[in-house]
Chains A and B, each alone.
Chain A
Amino acid sequence: MDKILLRQFYALLRREVLEHRNLFLGAPAVVAFLILLATIWAANQIPNDQLVLGLEYLAMLFDGLSPFDMASFFMILSIPFMLTLYVCCLVYLINTLYQDRKEMSVLFWQSMPVSNLNTVLSKVVTVVIVAPLFYVAVIFGLYLIAMIWLTVLGYSNDVDLAGLGWLFLAALASLLLIYASTFVATLWLLPTIGWILLFSAFARKTPLLWAGGVFILVGFLEDFAFGTQYLANWVESRAANLNQYLILDFQNVLGRLFNYDMLFGVILGSILIAGAVYMRRFTD
Chain B
Amino acid sequence: MKDFILKNRYTLLLTTLTLYMAVLVAEGEITGREARIIDFENPFFDFNISNWEDFVDENR
Contact = CB atoms under 8 A, between A and B. Distances in A.
Which bucket holds chain B's interface residue count?
Answer: 20 to 34
A281 interface: yes
Contact of B36 (A236, A274, A278): A236
30 contacts: A202-B9, A218-B21, A222-B21, A222-B25, A228-B28, A229-B35, A230-B25, A230-B27, A230-B29, A230-B33, A233-B28, A233-B34, A233-B35, A234-B24, A234-B28, A234-B33, A236-B35, A237-B33, A267-B23, A271-B19, A271-B20, A275-B13, A275-B15, A275-B16, A275-B20, A278-B6, A279-B12, A279-B13, A279-B16, A282-B9
A256 B35 CA distance: 22
Contacts of A218: 17, 21
B33 A271 contact: no
Interface residues of A, number: 26
A202 to B, nearest CB: 5
Given A275-B12, A279-B16, 10 more contacts: A214-B17, A230-B24, A231-B24, A232-B35, A234-B24, A264-B27, A271-B16, A275-B15, A278-B12, A282-B9
Interface in B7-55: 8-9, 12-13, 15-17, 19-21, 23-25, 27-29, 33-36
A228 B25 contact: yes
A198 interface: yes
Contacts of B34: 233
A279 B9 contact: yes
Contacts of B20: 268, 271-272, 275
A198 B33 contact: no
A218 B6 CA distance: 21
DSSP majority for the B interface? helix
Contacts of A281: 6
A240 interface: yes
Contacts of A214: 17
Interface in A180-221: 198, 202, 214, 218
Nearest to B27: A264
A233 B33 contact: yes
A181 to B, nearest CB: 24
A240 B28 contact: no
Contacts of B12: 275, 278-279, 282
Contacts of A232: 35
Contacts of A233: 28, 33-35
Nearest to A232: B35
